[in-house]
Amino acid sequence: MCTFVPAQADSLHSAQPHPSPVTRQTHTALPHGHGAAHSQPQASRSSPYLTPDTQPDPTQYLPPPPQPGSLRHQTDEKAFAVTRGWKNDARWALAASDAKLQLPDLLNSFSCAAGFVIDAARTPHLIALLRNMGNTEVPDMWKGKDYWRRTRPFVGTDNAICTEEERADIAKTGAYPSGHTMLGWSLALVLTELLPDRSTAILQRGRVFGESRIVCGVHWESDVQEGYLAGAAEVAAMHGSAAFRADMDAARAELAALRATAPKPDTKQCEIEHEAAIHSPL
């Protein structure tokens, strides 16, 4: 279990002043290929984009999680039960892949939607943007989780989850709202701005990324639904930051240059993601 990790850590979730099971596997260095280690943009900052006065408070704008016995909680329970039957299929494997928040993996998750391989080693400005977004968003995520302390759906059961190696650690953290969903949806919104001609595919992938947490069995459906809202709130607030807007401009130019020469994503993987979008657990 880890405490605060500087902005140079290669994971969005690792930019958090709070212990988390996912940080055990995310403290890798940014890939050194293509000179990435020597081309870090000057815009890269370790400070968040927002201040205490501009930081949205999820404990105030999100509704409380559904109470046991309520209609919403019954819907949550049904989604968890149904998706336990998806173990070992392609959608389960995609959920396990989507659980990885290392930045190279995260960008690769959106490569099919972008229409080209988003190589972390060739996008230092985008990496800097995402690191600073993580520094901004993740503390708010933990504020919500620690406020509500909602028990995760698999706790107290022997039902499988797609990240069994993290089962004991994840069980100790709150479920509401879903942090993976928040981060995935905020990335989808940012990439939609940077690549507007790919907006539909990118937003669809952002939705599927959140749904993976339901399929994985580590979040209730309502955790994910409010995770989308949390991600949207964070991105909306960050647009008030001149530093965020400047980093967006740099990342936009970088992606425009990259897509001219980047390889196409794996066709089979894109088909799996497309099937996941068609067969939503919601």
The CA dihedral of 5, 46, 208, 265, to the nearest 10 degrees, is -100
The model's pTM is 0.87
Catalytic residue among 131, 213, 247, 252: 213
Rg (CA), the chain: 18
223 belongs to the catalytic site: yes
Residues 6-39: tens digit of each pLDDT: 334 466 655 444 543 333 333 223 222 223 222 3
Which 3 state secondary structure label does DSSP give 53?
Answer: coil
Measure the CA–CA gap between 98 and 22, rounded to whole angstroms: 12
Question: Would the pLDDT of 44 be above 60?
Answer: no
Contacts with 4 (C-beta within 8 Å, 6 or more apart), sequence order:
16, 17
Measure the CA–CA gap between 22 and 5, rounded to whole angstroms: 12
89 belongs to the catalytic site: no
219 belongs to the catalytic site: yes
54 token code pair:
């501009």
Residues 166-199: tens digit of each pLDDT: 999 999 999 999 999 999 999 999 999 999 999 9
213 belongs to the catalytic site: yes
